[in-house]
Amino acid sequence: MKSTRRTASRAAVRAGRSRRAAAAPYHHGALREAMLEAAERILERDGIAGLTLRAAAREAGVSHAAPKNHFGDIRGLLSDLAAVGFARFGAALVANTREGETSKARLAALGHGYVAFAQRNPGLFLLMFRSERLDFSRPPLRAAAEAAFGVLAGAVGARRREAPETPSTLSQAAQITAAWSLVHGFAMLMLDGRLKPLVARMPDGTDEMTLLAAILSGPTPEL
């Protein structure tokens, strides 16, 4: 009887191993995505200081050594996560634009999308612009960042009645920088809580995004 039970127990163990082995290809095939999702959860929950390769592996439920095959080290993981962020960021920039709108209205919509993305994804936004933690030689990150920047540069070019592919002149670079500084500076002031005292003195119902809308819809110099 004992021998029969031992045999059945061994068979059950082997069957369990076999089931786990059968499931392994799917699990490992999705490891990169699982790690990126885990890393983003940690980033938004604990901040960049809490995001390590070991913490992300633990969050994803995989071995500590597994992520190295996809990312190499923590800088690789952060860079690939930032690439995901820039891809979403580019989509957020144009989410509220409309066909046939004026160049000024398009710039305002892009500005709103820029700050709204930062408001919804504060940890990811800060990571994306902390270049000392990122490796921009990695093609996915470089391509995603350049594509997002191209959206803003193209809108400024349209405002100047220049084709988006026009080579940058000093004047064009200055206008791109001015537009970028406005929305990025606003986003950082918002994330740092520096706008709260100002908003508190505004009429009821005013928040940071109301203030941004007033800035973006106000008079602007010709670009």
- Burial (CB < 10 A; 0-12, 13-18, 19+), residue 89, is buried
Tell me, yes or no, whether 164 and 188 share the same domain.
yes
One-letter-per-residue 3-state SS of 140-178: HHHHHHHHHHHHHHHHHHHHCCCCCCCCCCHHHHHHHHH
What total of structural domains would you count in the chain? 2
* Contact in structure between 140 and 80 (CB atoms under 8 Å): yes
> Which of residues 40, 72, 104 is at a domain's end?
72
Residues 98 and 204 in one domain: yes
pLDDT along the chain (223 residues), means of 10: 47 41 45 94 94 94 86 95 97 92 91 97 95 92 95 79 62 88 97 96 94 85 38
pLDDT at 82 (0 to 100): 98
Question: 128 with 221, same domain?
Answer: yes
In the listed set 44, 72, 100, which residue is the last one of a domain according to the structure? 72
Looking at the fold, whether 4 and 101 belong to one and the same domain comes out as no
How far is Cα 124 from Cα 156, in angstroms, rounded to an integer? 25
Helices (H) and strands (E) in the chain, counts: 11, 0
Residue 84: its pLDDT value, please? 97
**pLDDT digits 0-9 by tens, 93-108:** 999 899 888 988 999 9
Query: 194: Cβ–Cβ under 8 A, 6 or more apart, which residues?
Result: none
CATH code where residue 215 lies: 1.10.357.10
Do 16 and 94 fall into the same domain?
A: no
pLDDT for the residue 2? 46
CA distance 148 to 26: 32
Task: Give the pLDDT confidence score for residue 159 in this predicted structure.
Answer: 65
* Whether residue 34 is found in the same domain as residue 11: yes
C-alpha 109/C-alpha 88 separation (Å) is: 16
What is the predicted pLDDT for the residue at 141? Answer: 97
Domain co-membership, 106 together with 196:
yes
Write down the residue that tokens 């349209």 correspond to: 158
Query: Which of 72, 88, 123 marks a domain boundary?
Result: 72
pTM to 2 decimal places: 0.81
Q: Do 94 and 189 have their domain in common? A: yes
Same domain? For 194 and 146 the reply is: yes
* Whole-number pLDDT of residue 160: 61
Question: Can you tell me whether residue 221 is helix, strand or coil?
Answer: coil
Q: Looking at the structure, do residues 65 and 155 belong to the same domain, yes or no?
A: no
Host domain of residue 121: 73-223
pLDDT of 222 reads: 39
Sign of the CA dihedral with 195 first, then 132, 150, and 39 last: negative
Rounded-to-integer distance, Cα 11 and Cα 5, Å? 10
Count CB-CB contacts under 10 A for residue 156. 23
Contacts with 183 (C-beta within 8 Å, 6 or more apart), sequence order? 110, 111, 114, 115
Output the average pLDDT for the chain.
84
pLDDT of residue 127: 96
User: In sequence order, which residues have a C-beta less than 8 Å from that of residue 41 and are 6 or more positions away?
Assistant: 59
Residue-level pLDDT at 122: 96
Q: Distance between alpha carbon 56 and the CA centroid of its chain, in Å?
A: 17
- Are residues 53 and 77 both part of a single domain? no
Length of the chain (residues): 223
What pLDDT is recorded for position 154? Answer: 86
Q: Looking at residue 66, what is its pLDDT? A: 83
Tens of pLDDT, residues 57-103: 999 999 888 888 889 999 999 999 999 999 999 999 999 899 888 98
User: Same domain for 83 and 180?
Assistant: yes
- Residue 135: partners with Cβ closer than 8 Å, 6 or more residues away: 75, 76, 79, 141
